[in-house]
């Protein structure tokens, strides 16, 4: 009965925990979506910042006149003012870098790079493809802005390189659940930023990952659940970092471990189950003690009494109180039956003469209240009987 009584609260506990878990997971997904939107907003702001820097540089006379001596100082000054940028420079129309805030060790020809070709072809601000700096363990993207001369011909191309340091800063600034993964990957499925362990993941292809395939197929904001590259079940929120119409659009994904998202509900479920188990155990113990004290002992006393009576011990009694209650009334009936049987047995065991005398005494007591003429008549009858016997002799 105790176990049956436990079933309704057990079902309620499990149902409540499941609902609370769904609520927590929904909230975690909503927070992940907000974080993905925040990341996208940061990225777009940095792109706009890079555009403004290149546009400002294009208006300066040292850039327009190609004053190499002053140009590098200006580039370094701009780079210090904008820590989101990793490099600034000027490229000649032949694709060779003529000046750079952080010049490379060797001369580099970038004529075949996407950012340079797009700027020359469109005569507008252009974004390059994501590239992996394996030594630094991070992805970079380069922006380009053409400086036009007479007849709209490209005289120079300014470039600004930006890495994804902001991803690490975002993770540090935001209070994320333990085990959360923030990843950025390009349209080819290559990971260009990853927190934590960027050195381990940046540059790896995740094109075969089901989540990446889902993101690239949808090309828009959304959520998904599944196992990430590190084999941990997570719920994901993802979003393009730029508009879906921009070539080479990267995507950001926020992965929160499912176990962490539903941890509070799981703890509440465990706590409630332990409480219910303790209550059920106490109920079982109290039920066992109570049944032994108030039921089993009385039943055993009744059974023992009936067994002794059936064995011939007519002095057996239950020893139970004769009060209200079914068992008490049954005990009273058994004791009364035992008393009657004991008296009957005592009467049967007496000698016949004693039984006759006892019945005579009972009879005399029965006729004690009759008229006095009855004994006289009985005496007359007795004398008549004696006279008749003498006459016959």
Q: Residue 145 has what pLDDT?
A: 92
Q: Residue 357 has what pLDDT?
A: 60
How many Cβ atoms are within 10 Å of 302's Cβ, its own excluded?
A: 17
Q: Residue 146 has what pLDDT?
A: 92
pTM confidence score = 0.61
Rounded alpha-carbon distances, angstroms, from residue 268 to 1, 4, 14, 178, 272: 26, 23, 10, 19, 6
pLDDT tens for 156-214 read 899 998 887 777 777 777 777 788 888 888 888 888 888 888 878 888 888 888 888 88
- What is the DSSP code (8-state) at residue 242? S
pLDDT along the chain (393 residues), means of 10: 66 72 79 86 87 89 74 87 87 86 76 88 86 67 87 86 79 77 86 83 85 85 83 87 63 86 70 74 70 64 76 73 73 76 74 59 55 47 48 44
Rounded alpha-carbon distances, angstroms, from residue 197 to 21, 113, 171, 252, 284: 29, 29, 12, 16, 53
Contact 217/210 with Cβ under 8 angstroms?
A: no
Range 2-261 has CATH code 1.10.10.10: no
pLDDT tens for 17-43 read 677 677 777 888 888 888 888 888 888
Contact 256/26 with Cβ under 8 angstroms?
A: no
Residue carrying the six token digits 């989540």: 211
Which of 171, 160, 161, 172 is CA-nearest to residue 139?
161
How open is the CA angle 63-156-249, to the nearest 5 degrees? 110
Q: Residue 377 has what pLDDT?
A: 46
Distance separating alpha carbons of residues 361 and 339, to the nearest angstrom: 23
The SS3 assignment for 82 reads coil
- Structure token pair of residue 16: 């409540």
- Structure token pair of residue 80: 């210090």
| Crossing angle of the two packed helices 2-58 and 68-81, in degrees rounded to 10 | 160
Distance separating alpha carbons of residues 164 and 191, to the nearest angstrom: 11
pLDDT tens for 307-330 read 777 777 777 777 777 777 776 777
Every domain of the chain with CATH number 3.30.450.20 lies at: 2-261
Distance separating alpha carbons of residues 193 and 175, to the nearest angstrom: 19
**Mean pLDDT (the chain, rounded):** 76
């Amino acid at each position: 009965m105790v176990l049956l009584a436990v079933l309704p609260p057990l079902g309620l506990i499990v149902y409540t925990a499941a609902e609370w878990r769904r609520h927590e997971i929904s909230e975690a997904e909503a927070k992940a979506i907000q974080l993905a939107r925040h990341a996208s907003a940061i990225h777009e702001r940095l792109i706009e910042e890079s555009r403004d820097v290149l546009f400002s540089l294009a208006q300066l006379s040292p850039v327009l006149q190609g004053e190499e001596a002053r140009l590098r100082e200006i580039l370094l000054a701009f780079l210090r003012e904008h820590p989101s940028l990793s490099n600034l420079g000027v490229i000649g129309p032949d694709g060779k870098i003529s000046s750079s805030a952080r010049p490379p060790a060797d001369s580099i020809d970038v004529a075949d790079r996407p950012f340079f070709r797009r700027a020359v072809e469109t005569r507008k601000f252009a974004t390059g493809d994501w590239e992996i700096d394996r030594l630094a363990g991070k992805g970079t993207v380069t922006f380009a802005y053409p400086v036009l001369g007479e007849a709209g011909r490209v005289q120079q191309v300014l470039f600004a390189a930006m890495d994804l340091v902001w991803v690490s800063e975002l993770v540090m600034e935001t209070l994320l659940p333990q085990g959360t993964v923030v990843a950025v990957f390009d349209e080819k499925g290559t990971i260009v930023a990853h927190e934590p362990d960027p050195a381990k993941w940046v540059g790896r292809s995740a094109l075969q990952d089901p989540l990446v395939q889902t993101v690239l197929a949808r090309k828009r904001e959304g959520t998904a659940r599944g196992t990430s590259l590190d084999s941990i079940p997570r719920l994901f929120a993802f979003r393009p970092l730029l508009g879906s119409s921009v070539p080479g659009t990267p995507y950001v994904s926020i992965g929160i471990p499912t176990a962490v998202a539903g941890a509070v509900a799981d703890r509440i479920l465990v706590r409630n189950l332990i409480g219910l188990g303790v209550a059920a155990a106490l109920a079982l113990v109290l039920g066992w003690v109570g049944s032994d004290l108030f039921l089993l002992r009385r039943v055993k006393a009744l059974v023992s009494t009936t067994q002794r009576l059936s064995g011939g011990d007519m002095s057996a009694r239950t020893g139970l109180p004769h009060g209200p209650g079914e068992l008490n009334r049954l005990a009273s009936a058994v004791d009364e039956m035992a008393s009657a049987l004991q008296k009957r047995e005592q009467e049967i065991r007496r000698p016949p003469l004693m039984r006759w005398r006892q019945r005579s005494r009972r009879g005399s007591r029965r006729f004690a209240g009759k008229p006095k003429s009855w004994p006289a008549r009985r005496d007359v009858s007795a004398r008549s009987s004696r006279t008749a016997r003498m006459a016959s002799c």
